[in-house]
Amino acid sequence: MSFPVEETDRLLSTTRSVRRRLDLERPVPEELILDCIDLAEQAPTGGNQPSRRWLVIRDPKVKAQLADLYREAGGSWLSERASALDGSGDPRERAARSGGHLADHLHEVPALVLVTIYGEHDGSGRPGLFDSVLQAAWSFCLAARSRGLGTAWTTLHLGAADKVADLLEIPDRVTQVVLLPVAYTIGDDFLIVDRRPARDITWFDKWGRTLQSPVDGRSPLFADGAGVTVEVDIDAKAAGIWPIAADINLPARFSDEFQGAEWIDDEPAVGARFMGRNRRDDLGEWEITCTLVDYEPERVFAWHAGDVDSPAAQWRFEIEPLLGGTRLRFSMVLGPGPSGLTALIEAMPEKEAAIIANRQKGQAANMRRTIEGIRDLAETQTT
Ligand SMILES: Cc1cc2nc3c(=O)[nH]c(=O)nc-3n(C[C@H](O)[C@H](O)[C@H](O)COP(=O)(O)O)c2cc1C
C-alpha cells in the first residue's frame, strides 16, 4: 500500500517549531500524547533496545519550575534578544521573537514532553544514545502535527540538566535529550521554509563531489554538470573574511593551478570582468576572461569563466553566518561551455569519466587549500 505522497510531503515539510501559535488555553488529551508516543516508538533504536522514556509534564507547579530552569539556562537571554531586535528589521528578528515568546510562556503550554533515554553518552561511538532518541522524538513531532498539535524542539533546559533531573526525580544514568512543548496550534497553515536545495548539500561517491543532473548510478560525464564544493568553518566575522575571499589574486597563493588575475573592469559588480591565468601539466597554460555573475559584499562572490552564458566553469564563494562563527563555501561546476577539458575529452572520448573524476579531484584539493588559507588569514587577522 502506498501513501498519499502529497499529504505525507505536506506533513514532512510543514512541521515547524511552533512557538507563537501554540493554543495555551485548550487542554491536550493525555490519550493523544500517548498515541503520538506509540507512533514515535516505532522508530529504530540501536541494538533494538527499548530504552527511551517519555516524561509528560502537565502539573502547573512543575511546569512553572521547569520553565524557570529553561529561562535560567538561556531562555531569558532569548527574551532579551527578542526585545533588543524588536522592530530592527534584522533577519533574526522573527526567530528571536518566536524563541523569546516561548521562553516567556513555557509554563502555560498544556504539556511539556521531555524525551529521555537510559544511558550516558560515553563517546564510544556505539549506537544507543542520542542516535536512538532523535528519530523517535521527531516522529513524535510529526504524529503530533498530523493531529493538530504543535511542538517546538527545545534544548536550552539541558544547560540546567542536573537541576531538571532533581526537579523531575530523574535517576542517574538517564540522559535528557529534548523538551517538546505540546499544544493545539492556532490555525493549521504552516509554511515550507527556504532550505538549501539537496543538490547543494549532497555529495556523490566522494566528499564534496556534486552533480547538477541525474546520472542514475553511472559515472558522471561532462554534460552532467559535475562539480566540487568545499567548506570550512571560520572563527571570524563575514566582514573580516570578505576582503580576503573577494581578492581575485588570493587563490594563486594556495592553488597549484591558478596563477593570478587582473581586473579588466574597474569596479567589482555583477557584469565586471577579470582575466585569470592558469597552468596545468596536462592542459598547459591558458588565460580566461571571467565575469562576475553574483556579487553581494560579505555574502557572495561568483563568476563564470569563459563565455558568461555558456561558461567553461562556474565558480562561487559564499559566506554564511553561523551562531558564533562563519562558514565559507567555495563551489565549482564544470561547463557547460567548451574548455581545455572538453578538448581533452574530444581527444580521448573513451576516458571521459576518468578525466572528469581526475579534474574533480584536482579541483577539490586546490579549493580546499584555498579556503583553509583564507581561514588561516582571517583567523589571524581578527585575533
Ligand atoms: C538541536 C536543536 C536545539 C534547539 N533548541 C531550541 C531551544 O532551546 N529553544 C527554542 O525556542 N528553539 C530551539 N530549537 C528550534 C530551532 O531554533 C528551530 O528549529 C529553528 O528556528 C527553525 O525553525 P523551524 O523548526 O520552524 O524550521 C532547536 C532546534 C534544534 C534542532
- Cα-to-centroid distance, 158 and ligand 1 (Å): 13
Closest atom of ligand 1 relative to the 19 alpha carbon: 11
For residue 300, how far is its CA from the centre of ligand 1 (angstroms)? 26
**Ligand 1 atom at shortest distance from the alpha carbon of 155:** 8
Grid coordinates representing 116 are: 529521555
Spatial CB neighbours of 192, under 8 Å, sequence gap ≥ 6: 13, 14
Helix 161-168 / helix 60-70 crossing angle, nearest 10 deg: 170
pLDDT tens by residue, the chain, 383 residues: 799 999 999 999 999 999 999 999 999 999 999 999 999 999 999 888 889 999 999 999 999 999 999 999 987 888 888 888 888 888 778 888 999 999 999 999 999 999 999 988 877 766 557 888 999 999 999 999 999 999 999 999 999 999 999 999 999 999 999 999 999 999 999 999 999 999 999 999 999 999 999 899 899 999 999 999 999 999 999 999 999 999 999 888 898 888 999 999 998 999 999 999 998 887 788 899 999 999 999 999 999 999 999 999 999 999 999 988 999 999 999 999 998 889 999 999 999 999 999 999 999 999 999 999 999 999 998 54
Residue 278, ligand 1, Cβ within 6 A? no
Q: Whose Cα sits closest to atom 9 in ligand 1?
A: 154
Ramachandran angles phi, psi of 36, nearest 5°? -65, -35
What atom in ligand 1 is closest to the CA of residue 18?
26
Question: Which ligand 1 atom is nearest residue 99's CA?
Answer: 11
CA atoms of 217 and 215, how far apart (whole Å): 6
Report pTM. 0.91
Cβ(153) to ligand 1 under 6 A? Answer: yes
Residue 226 is predicted with a pLDDT of 96
Q: Residue 213 has which C-alpha cell?
A: 543532473
- Taking residue 115's Cβ as centre, other Cβ atoms within 10 Å add up to 23
Which protein residue's CA is at the shortest distance from atom 25 of ligand 1?
17
CATH class of segment(s) 198-382:
alpha beta
Q: Which atom of ligand 1 is nearest to the CA of 103?
A: 11
315 C-alpha vs ligand 1 centroid, how far in Å?
32
Q: CATH 3.30.530.20: which residues of the chain?
A: 198-382
Residue 286 CA to ligand 1 centre (angstroms): 49
The CATH number of the structural domain formed by 5-184 is: 3.40.109.10
Expressed in angstroms and rounded, the spacing between residue 155 Cα and the centre of ligand 1 is: 8
Instruction: Provide CATH 3.40.109.10 ranges for the chain.
Output: 5-184
Q: Tell how far the Cα of 153 is from the centroid of ligand 1, in angstroms.
A: 5
Whether the upstream peptide bond of residue 338 has omega within 30° of 0, thus cis, is: no
Q: Report pLDDT for 330.
A: 98
Do residues 147 and 32 make contact, with C-beta atoms less than 8 angstroms apart? yes
Please state the three-class secondary structure of the chain as a single string.
CCCCHHHHHHHHHHCCECCCCECCCCCCCHHHHHHHHHHHCCCCCHHHCCCEEEEEECCHHHHHHHHHHHHHHHHHHHHHHHHHHCCCCCCCHHHHHHHHHHHHHHHHCCEEEEEEEECCCCCCCCCCCHHHCHHHHHHHHHHHHCCCEEECCECHHHHHHHHHHHHHCCCCCEEEEEEEEEEEECCCCCCCCCCCCHHHHCCCCCCCEEECCCCCCCCCCHHHCEEEEEEEEECCCHHHHHHHHCCCCHHHHCCCCEEEEEECCCCCCCCCEEEEEEEECCCEEEEEEEEEEEEECCCEEEEEECCCCCCCEEEEEEEEEECCEEEEEEEEEECCCCCHHHHHHHHCHHHHHHHHHHHHHHHHHHHHHHHHHHHHHHHHHHC
Question: Looking at ligand 1, which atom is closest to the CA of residue 95?
Answer: 21
Give nearest CA residue, ligand 1 atom 30: 153
Check: CB of residue 199 under 8 Å from CB of residue 212: yes
Q: How far apart are CA 112 and CA 65, in angstroms?
A: 12
Q: How far is the CA of 182 from the centre of ligand 1 (A)?
A: 14
